[in-house]
Chain A
Amino acid sequence: MVSNRSFLVQLQILTKRMVLRVVRRPLAELPNLIISAFFLFVYDGALGGVFGGTASGTPFDFAKGNFINFILPVSIVSASLSGAASGIYLVEDIESGVFKRYQSMPISRWAIILAPMNVGALRVLLQSSLILFIGIIIGADPAVGNIGFLIVLSIAFIWGMGFAGYSVAAGVKSGSSQGAQAATFLFFPAIFLAPTFVPREALKGWLETAAAYNPTTYVIEAMRAVMVDGWELDVLFRGYISAGLFAALTLTLAVLSARKATEKA
């Protein structure tokens, strides 16, 4: 018997197993995809028109003539929330007792925790890419050229991992998949207290203040800069920093809570 129990091999096996679980439940992928696509179509079709033609000060104007470019970042942010599945996957294993079984075997506990994070990351990439692809089909065209798509995807990835970490921490803390599921409610303030449908300059009063403290704002603005305005390095930088700080914070929380979960009671 050739024994290979290196950390990476174990992580790979556990990740593969979890991918199988995801593949066996394809319908679970739909809600988040549909919501994300919804932003793209409805806000393009409805709001793009409602706000009135190409007159100055309308979204069409902010969008510099391409409303898809303006709204695509919102759809991508929404798609990246699919990373929150990581916590749900992990808690499902805790609830079903699979987690305990793994703990009774000589398996690295980090492999047990990282596997759902891996799958969450894959999910973010796939869902974001799919939305991006739909965006391209219906006419998205980054101001900085095609490299803009890569930039958007990379920010979405970091942001999505932030949500993955958040969901793992919330799930382990609450000890239930409902707890992890509830984590996705963060979606509402994240999207609606941000310059989602109009630029930040158009927000008024408390909404403007809230948006200033919402990291989503900077993530959307960075993506939007690339899509609509061109190279605005300071905006881009703020976007990466916001996403990066959010991810660093939640991943630290995830590691701390997961370490606690794998400790003996």
Chain B
Amino acid sequence: MLAVDVKNIKKTFISKQDTVEAVKDVSFQVKQGEIFGLLGPNGAGKSTTILMLTTLLSITDGRASVLGLDVSSKDKEVREKIGVALQDTGIDNLLTGKELFFTTCRLWGYSKKDSEKRTTELLELVGLKEAADRRVKTYSGGMKRRLDLGLSLVHSPEILFLDEPTTGLDPGSRRVLWDEIKRLRDNGVTIILTTQYLEEADELADRIAIIDEGLVVAEGTSDELKAGIGGDVITFAFENNNDLENAKNILKNTVQEKNELRITVEDGASKIPGYLKDLSSNGVEVSSVSASKPTLDDVFLEVTGYRLEGSEDITKEEEKSER
């Protein structure tokens, strides 16, 4: 049985002012025991999709099921099976971490005694034992995210929905969460997570769907997606704009990124001399050239026509912090 089966779902918000097609046509399938990543920029429709799958939002059109249960008609049953950590963390700042876990355990139907036991287990699991008796107000962003994750695990759900679990975290805290999520997957939990970080999708997700403006524009494993581009990416850099504009006309089918042009071809390295000859015979000066295997970044650029903002900065930050 599929963990999640989404068939052409659509969400249209209608208000007095205007009509927003937040999700236009999204389909994907998630197998049990895998981490599935929904990758997309701000406003792509990730949260809206998650809210529909977690029974918190009605589906305008199309169908979705979780473990074979229809999300719209079997919403109560679906809620039993899933754990949810939403993007806008619903955390009660005035209570302590321990009180929050205890209350949540009780609400899931555990007895007082079992709730105490489970609370201790979960505090340990998400590394909040020391801070257990502090009010959540005093927690850092990373601690709150871990708390949020812990709260979604109370009833040992088979399927976990995490909406941008690491947004706003520093690279160190992000790693901690990544490890935790992988460990859950290794214990058999199916995880559907959204992210706007390429590295996160690349590192965590067994399979990825790239979502943009309410549509799934690519789907597959990270390697499949990269292979889908075919061949290698050759990057030409230019020092002046004229050269760049001329090169654009000569090379055809390039994608521009600041002062660079990229072109995707089979067997890139062997084609570089030929390109350089064409360019220099037309009087175009190239300041540098390189060939590389495509990254997820390139895939994103290819399928959406633009680059995911900030993705490079994060990689740099991460390098810094690992030093």
Contacts and interface: CB of A to CB of B under 8 A. Distances in A.
B107 A96 contact: no
Contact of A13 (B94, B107, B114): B107
B94 to A, nearest CB: 4
A101 B84 contact: yes
Interface in B103-140: 103-104, 106-111, 114, 135
Interface string A91-107: 00000111111111111
B188 to A, nearest CB: 19
A20 B107 contact: no
B90 interface: yes
Contacts of A105: 79, 104, 107-108
A85 to B, nearest CB: 14
Contact residues of B: prevailing secondary structure: loop
Contacts of B9: none
B99 to A, nearest CB: 7
B57 interface: yes
A: contact size bracket: 20 to 34
A17 B100 CA distance: 9
Contact of A98 (B92, B99, B114): B92
A24 interface: yes
A265 interface: yes
Interface in A72-98: 96-98
B94 A21 contact: yes
B86 A97 contact: yes
A46 interface: no
Contacts, number: 83
A204 interface: no
Interface residues of B, number: 32
Interface of B: 13, 54-58, 76, 79-80, 82, 84, 86, 88-95, 99, 103-104, 106-111, 114, 135, 151
B93 A96 contact: yes
A24 B94 contact: yes
A223 to B, nearest CB: 35
A17 B90 contact: no
A97 B110 contact: no
Given A1-B111, A97-B86, A265-B13, A104 B55 contact: yes
Interface stretch (A2-10, A116-124, A226-234): A2-10
A104 B103 contact: no
B89 A97 contact: yes
A1 B93 contact: no
